[in-house]
Amino acid sequence: MELLSKRKALSWDTSREMISIVMLFTSALEHNQLDQFLEFGDVKEFGTKEIYTIAKLAVRCVAMPSTEMPTMKEVADVLDGLNKEHQNVTCRTWMSGITVATSQCCSGIEVEFMPELELEELSFSFTG
């Protein structure tokens, strides 16, 4: 979420109230206003479908209760599917960054996604 929005996880609004990026992101996604919330910058070359797919996945990764979170296999499958749609170097680099950031939200497991590797070759490490 931080990568897509270029915002910190917690911030202050103009009335000095704490705002959670998870609340903003989820609300923007539910109201189909995600494009107004995101800072696309260099990712404008990627389609809206891909951005929304990653956004929905990010929201699922912070779901409560945790039983609603996707498994690491689901995360890897979604991102692998997106990667297969885009075979250029720029996309691979960007998708790799998104994967690591997204996976850190999911059940305390980090996954390093290397687009040129097959699913079985993903590198997993446990945190916490």
pLDDT tens sequence across 1-24: 777 777 777 777 667 777 788 888
Cα–Cα distance list, 116 to 1, 56, 94, 104 (Å): 24, 24, 13, 21
Backbone phi, psi, residue 97, to 5°: -65, -40
Name which residue leads in pLDDT, 70 or 50.
70
Q: What is the pTM of this model?
A: 0.55
Is 37:25 a contact under the CB 8 Å cutoff?
yes
Tokens found for residue 55: 């956004």
Q: What is the pLDDT of residues 17-66, one digit of tens each?
A: 777 888 888 888 888 877 777 765 544 556 677 878 888 888 888 888 88
Cβ neighbours, 10 Å, residue 90: 12
In tens, the pLDDT along 108-122 reads 444 444 444 444 444
CA nearest to 113, candidates 86, 89, 92: 92
* CB contact at 8 A, 72 and 104: no
N- to C-terminal Cα separation, the chain: 21
